[in-house]
Chain A
Amino acid sequence: MGDLFRTIINAISIMAIPLLLFVFLGWGIIKKVRVYEVFVEGAKDGFSTAVRIIPYLVAMLCAIGIFRASGALELLTSVLAPVTNLIGMPSETLPMAFMRPLSGSGSLGIMTELMKVHGPDSFIGVLASTMYGSSETTFYVLAIYFGSVQVKNTRHAVPAGLIADVFGMLGAVLICRILFGV
């Protein structure tokens, strides 16, 4: 059942892009759109959008880089470990929970490290990889999405995004405890 689901989704993922290109452009031809010219017209914006993001991304990534390099994460982990132990979340996975919204490569590194130390099929290994899959890099998405339209006043985006992250992490702990509980 699980394998079938996986095979189907994998197949869709592999075919999606070629199929999308074919259908979209083919539909354009049928509707008598001058596909090449319109494509180029649309593609022009690629450069300016990417360049517009740069200042937002620099601001965000530098702050995250400084935070990561300082060792603040270790400090935070040791302070909060007693709290998370109460909900059955091993303190080893705390850095993962903090890093996930901040940095994709950072959380990937932590996940890999946890699996190396504890084994991929240990509770910690399963929980860490579930946490990795349970959320996106909130601050990165925030920087590029809002950066592309020059939004500076983000209003409630950060609190809502962080609430989503917290619930994602709690959900991961809950489901892993139910299914693979220790």
Chain B
Amino acid sequence: MLNYIWISLIAIGILVAVGNDVRDEAQNTYRNGVPFEASIVIQKSPTPLRQTWEGDLVLTAEAFNSFYGITSATSEVRQPVVISVAPSGELSIAMPIGPATPDRWKDMAKAAANREKLTGVVQSIAVAGDQQTARVRIVLEPIRFVKMKAVTQAALDYASTAVTIALGLIGIMALWLGVMKVAEEAGLLRIVTRMLTPVTKRLFPDIPTDHPAIAAMIMNMAANMLGLSNAATPMGLKAMEELNKLNPKVGTATNSMITFLVINTGGLILIPATAIAVRASAGSANPGIIIGTSIFGAACATVAGVIAAKLLQRLPRYRRDFEPEPGKEASNG
């Protein structure tokens, strides 16, 4: 099944991106080649040495919205710009992307020739008598294939993110694997395990009750509940490694592995610290109000997941994976 989900994510992503780009092209969402008028509040006028105007481009929210046919701009646009004069007398404009840039222009810049700024041609400029303001008529550079470019960028970015995440695990993995090894040699894990045998026997009937995998899984779950994800992941991986030692068919997930994984993805956590922090910073009167509701939600997820795993493992198509049947390839699912 993972095969299908994986290819669906990629295929749907690319098809939707193409569809969005075709639609943008047909509707001219980015108003390629269409001029618009705006005022410029001039801060620096050209001098004989420097043939540029610098200032803020000012456009009302209504004008911006109606030009692009959107409703997202809520406040007046004030965008720093530089207008420069080429030797041929042609005027060009550059808008560096910054915090003041409206979202639409930020999106457009992502697909622009230079991702840091949007450029365009100034068709006309009329400077007011006091040299303080000017009216300009601008055509921005054509923006095309926004989503396709975003998809390309995402694929490359995420590939390196994956490596960054994995490499970031090395240190904490080493720390916890070392500690766990000491605990194992000292026989401490067996003590932890014995206390919870009644529970683990039911959840993981295939695993001998004093196997190190049980201890690692218990510690992983405890760390998860306390929100110590830095400790939980190494312990979880250690548990997987131990579970894999009991795996008759390496490369195929065992029932216990899947049950364990589902308990992990259920994400039962006593204090959802991240969500609380975001609520607090958003100015909530009671950031902790979601503790109870989150525990309820996660408990639903965990219980449903474990039941689903236990029921699904009885299906013939999943049992078949562990039956010796030469000549028949196990289906990847």
Cα distance, A97 to B308, chains bound together (Å): 19
Per-residue 0/1 for A72-91: is the Cβ within 8 Å of any B Cβ (1 yes, 0 no)?
Answer: 10010000000000000000
User: B165 → chain A, closest Cβ, in Å?
Assistant: 6
> Chain B residues near A44 (CB, 8 Å)?
174, 177
Task: Count residues on chain A whose CB falls below 8 Å from chain B CBs.
Answer: 108
Query: Contact: B226 with A175, CB < 8 Å?
Result: no
Contact of A158 among B1, B181, B183, B257 (CB under 8 A): B1
Q: Which residue of B lies closest to A66 (CB)?
A: B13
Contact of B181 among A12, A39, A126, A137 (CB under 8 A): A39
Contact of B312 among A59, A156, A169 (CB under 8 A): A156
User: A107 → chain B, closest Cβ, in Å?
Assistant: 10
> Chain A residues near B223 (CB, 8 Å)?
16
> Chain B residues near A63 (CB, 8 Å)?
6, 9-10, 13
Contact of B264 among A69, A145, A153 (CB under 8 A): A145
Query: Contact: A61 with B13, CB < 8 Å?
Result: no
> Are A167 and B304 also in contact (CB < 8 A) when A28-B183, A58-B163, A69-B147 are?
yes
Show the binding face of A for B, using Cβ within 8 Å: 2-3, 5-6, 9-10, 12-13, 16-17, 20-21, 23-25, 27-28, 30-31, 33, 35, 38-47, 49-51, 53-54, 57-72, 75, 101-102, 108, 111-112, 115-116, 119-121, 125-126, 129-138, 141-142, 144-146, 148-161, 163-172, 174-176, 179
Instruction: Across the A-B interface, give the 6 residue pairs with the lowest CB-CB distance, nearest first.
Output: A42-B181, A134-B297, A164-B305, A171-B300, A46-B174, A168-B301
> Chain A residues near B315 (CB, 8 Å)?
156
Is B170 part of the contact surface with A, judged by Cβ < 8 Å? yes
Contact of A160 among B186, B227, B258, B267 (CB under 8 A): B258
User: A156 → chain B, closest Cβ, in Å?
Assistant: 4
Query: Contact: B182 with A25, CB < 8 Å?
Result: yes
> Chain B residues near A50 (CB, 8 Å)?
166-167, 169-170, 173
Range class of the B interface residue count: 35 or more
User: B174 → chain A, closest Cβ, in Å?
Assistant: 3
Interface hit among B87-95, B126-134, B135-143, B271-279: B271-279
> Chain A residues near B166 (CB, 8 Å)?
50-51, 53-54, 57, 144
User: B283 → chain A, closest Cβ, in Å?
Assistant: 6
> Chain A residues near B173 (CB, 8 Å)?
45-47, 49-50
> Are A71 and B16 also in contact (CB < 8 A) when A54-B162, A168-B301 are?
yes
> Chain A residues near B264 (CB, 8 Å)?
136, 141, 145
Interface on chain B toward A: helix, strand, loop, or mixed SS? helix
Question: Which interface residue of B17, B289, B290, B303 has the most chain A CB atoms within 10 A?
Answer: B290
Pull 9 A–B residue pairs with CB atoms less than 8 Å apart, ordered by A: A2-B288, A16-B228, A27-B186, A120-B283, A135-B301, A144-B166, A144-B233, A165-B301, A179-B292
Is B185 part of the contact surface with A, judged by Cβ < 8 Å? yes
> Are A33 and B185 also in contact (CB < 8 A) when A62-B162, A65-B157, A170-B300 are?
yes
Query: Contact: A171 with B297, CB < 8 Å?
Result: yes
Is B22 part of the contact surface with A, judged by Cβ < 8 Å? no
User: B218 → chain A, closest Cβ, in Å?
Assistant: 13
> Are A159 and B1 also in contact (CB < 8 A) when A39-B178, A69-B154, A70-B13 are?
yes
19 extra A-B contacts, CB within 8 A, seeds A42-B181, A64-B158, A141-B264 = A5-B291, A43-B178, A50-B167, A50-B170, A61-B162, A66-B13, A68-B13, A70-B12, A71-B17, A101-B265, A112-B282, A115-B278, A120-B282, A121-B284, A121-B286, A132-B294, A134-B296, A141-B265, A158-B5
